[in-house]
Amino acid sequence: MLNSIRKATLELGIIIVTRNSHSKTLFALRSCLAFIAVSFFLMQPGIAQEKLDQLLVYGDGFIFSIKEPPGWRGDTENAEKFSANVVLHEAGKPQNSFTGLIRVSLNDKTDENIAEDMAADMREYRDQYPKVQFRELAVNHPNYKSLSKVFYQAGEFYEYVAYVNPGPKRKFLFSVSMKTGKTEANEKELAAYKSAIQSLTLF
């Protein structure tokens, strides 16, 4: 699992946030505040029209959107099980399956050096799997700095790893991963993964 994902992440989407409330009063208050916040957000000029095809993921102090690739469905309710803020399930796959599952996490950022974040994950993988290999994956976010690689050991595992940095004025960093088992991602899986990365928007 990614080094950054293993770190404490932000509170997940509101379904999970409210479920963790300590009282019915707090539950109701948080639900109400979340509804007001998102409603206000969607009322901003151009936002509602622009984001009708996007899945909004929100919690304490953040709102981001991601577009569901064709054949994939977003899930915030069960994302915590996968150490993520939102997961994208491929249609027809078991809900608890990691294969073809796209995991997106929004993490606290310590600096702007996503290359070092990636290098830390690579070192951790090499410690655990001495024969692991890495190769570049061409995925460019249209607005944010991004870095993507494939971590693999032929015949054993393939994991696709990406970091997306919304910029120096933002305190958060996206990490996006996808495992495809013992085989490389097929054309459909790879297209979905790239599409998900490129659609990320932090508000």
Domain CATH code at residue 53? 3.40.1000.10
Model pLDDT, residue 136: 97
What domain range includes position 68?
A: 3-202
For the whole prediction, is pTM greater than 0.85?
no
Where does the pLDDT of residue 44 fall: very low under 50, low under 70, confident under 90, or very high at 90 and above?
Answer: very low
**160 strand-pairing partners:** 150, 178
Which one is predicted more confidently, 168 or 4?
168
Model pLDDT, residue 59: 81
Model pLDDT, residue 49: 38
Pairing status of strand 157-165 against strand 145-153? antiparallel
Q: How far apart are CA 171 and CA 202, in angstroms?
A: 11
Question: Region 82-110: what's the mean pLDDT?
Answer: 91
Q: What is the CA radius of gyration of the chain?
A: 17
Q: How far apart are CA 154 and CA 147, in angstroms?
A: 22
Among positive and negative, which fits the CA dihedral 171, 135, 198, 36? negative
Count of domains for the chain: 1
Where does the pLDDT of residue 94 fall: very low under 50, low under 70, confident under 90, or very high at 90 and above?
Answer: confident
Model pLDDT, residue 51: 45
Please tell me whether residue 27 adopts helix, strand or coil conformation: helix
Task: Tell me which residue of 153, 151, 118 sits closest to 134, measured CA to CA.
Answer: 151
Question: Region 63-71: what's the mean pLDDT?
Answer: 96
Please say if the pLDDT value at position 100 is more than 90: no
- CB-CB neighbours of 112 under 10 Å: 12
Pairing status of strand 55-59 against strand 62-66? antiparallel
Two tokens at 158? 């393939």
Question: Region 1-13: what's the mean pLDDT?
Answer: 38
Residues 6 or more apart whose CB falls under 8 angstroms from that of 33 comprise: none
Over the stretch 130-163, which tens digit does the pLDDT of each residue have? 999 999 999 999 999 999 999 999 999 999 999 9
Question: Region 178-194: what's the mean pLDDT?
Answer: 96
Over the stretch 159-184, which tens digit does the pLDDT of each residue have? 999 999 999 999 999 999 999 999 99
Pairing status of strand 62-66 against strand 86-90? unpaired
Two tokens at 167? 């910029």
